Amino acid sequence: MTQLSLACTLTDRTRAVVEGRIKVEGFDIAFTPGEPEDLFRIAMREARYDITEMSMGSHILSVARGDSRYIGVPVFPSRAFRHSAIYIRTDRGIAGPKDLAGRVIGLPEYQQTAAVWVRGVLRDYYGTDLSGITWKVAGERTPIVLPPHIRKESIAEGQTLDAMLAAGEIDAVIAPRPPACFVNGTAPVARLFPDFRSHEEAYFKATGFFPIMHCIAIRRDVAAANPGLPMALFNAFSAAKAHALAEAAMVNVLRVSIPWIAAEVARQTEFMGGDPWPYGFQRNRAEVAAMCRFSAADGLTSQDVEPEALFHETTHGV
């Protein structure tokens, strides 16, 4: 049996595969856990693992540049609405999305998928003018070159976005992890959307998009040598996700330490059309196409990327 390495974050959606309770048919998988930021740097700089959790932002970027060492499988272990990821200084007169125009905004990475989504939502859904924004960026997992009209500046060595936001050196931060000054209440910082869930639900109703953050990806040489691997991974992770959702809905003994989790599962499943966490290329093609469009508008890609180019050809029909 072919032995392969897999690196991903341990979640309810991946656990059954990681623990071997659900097998990747025909393959012996050795698992390495990790946090996304670390896994993405390893994937983009070293391509160390045969199979890895991959940032969709970086995946689109590398495919567009023609230097991608991985090909995707339409399994999306991370999805998240990101209205909650915009943190603003409350002393700058920022009352809504359009007030971000012309501001100085911090980002952990310009290519980060969360940032791609937030810029896309601000631009397309709220009509925010992003052209005059100065982006203060902490770093990049892989070098990027942007068009000259996009103002991207690296923060100085020793600086942090949290300290800059707390000191008022920047007007806002877009980040999936809350800034410490927001968590601790040590600076006049708040979410742009305090009632973010209502805004996120409205966005889903309008677009049908539950923002994709990451996919599972196979190193291209491994995929070429194992043509059955993409669908084997798709089937295994799909089964693991179904198992996780079924467990969350159990009421005889709650499997998740949240009192009304089963009722919430039922509510969200109905709200999201019967599948709260969809995998598959066909079901998600329009959303991936939107991500490709966002990346082009951000200057991350200089040519159109078709969604089909991001995923292994054997998975296009699922």
Task: Please give the pLDDT value at position 305.
Answer: 95
Q: What pLDDT, on the 0 to 100 scale, is given for residue 216? A: 98
User: What confidence score (pLDDT) does residue 244 get?
Assistant: 96
What gap in Å lies between CA 238 and CA 14, rounded to an integer? Answer: 9
Coil, helix or strand at residue 210: coil
Q: How far apart, in Å, are the Cα atoms of 146 and each of 174, 256, 260?
A: 19, 44, 47
Q: What is the pLDDT of residues 231-242, one digit of tens each?
A: 999 999 999 999
pLDDT digits (tens, 9 = 90+) for 257-294: 999 999 999 999 999 999 999 999 999 999 999 999 99
The identity of residue 313, as a single letter, is: E
Q: What 3-state DSSP class applies to 283?
A: helix
Q: Are 247 and 269 in contact (CB under 8 A)?
A: no
Q: Where are the alpha helices (DSSP H) in 46-193?
A: 56-65, 113-120, 161-167, 180-184
Residue spans of beta strands (DSSP E) within 175-247: 189-191, 212-219
Q: Output the six-digit token pair for 93.
A: 């007169």
Q: How far apart are CA 231 and CA 269, in angstroms?
A: 25
pLDDT digits (tens, 9 = 90+) for 155-204: 999 999 999 999 999 999 999 999 999 999 999 999 999 999 999 999 99
Residue 116's pLDDT band (cuts 50, 70, 90)? very high
For residue 28, what are the contacts with CB-CB under 8 A and spacing of at least 6? Answer: 1, 2, 3, 4
206-215 confidence digits (pLDDT tens) = 999 999 999 9
Q: What is the mean pLDDT of residues 115-144?
A: 97
pLDDT digits (tens, 9 = 90+) for 239-263: 999 999 999 999 999 999 999 999 9
Share of the chain above pLDDT 90, in %: 99
Report the pLDDT value the prediction gives residue 304, as an integer from 0 to 100: 84
**Residue-level pLDDT at 264:** 94
Domains of the chain (ranges, CATH numbers): 2-80+211-240+279-315 (3.40.190.10), 83-207 (3.40.190.10)
User: Average pLDDT of 1-23?
Assistant: 96
- Residue 311's pLDDT is 98
Give the whole-angstrom CA distance, residue 20 versus residue 24: 9
pLDDT of residue 303: 82
Mean pLDDT of all residues belonging to the chain = 97
In this structure, are strands 104-107 and 172-174 parallel, antiparallel, or unpaired? parallel
Nearest to 196 by CA among 80, 36, 56: 80
pLDDT given for residue 163 in this prediction: 97
pLDDT at 118 > cutoff 90: yes
- Judge whether 215 and 74 are in contact, CB under 8 Å: yes
Q: Report whether 192 contacts 87 (CB < 8 A).
A: yes
- Cα three-residue angle 3-9-15, rounded to 5 degrees: 70
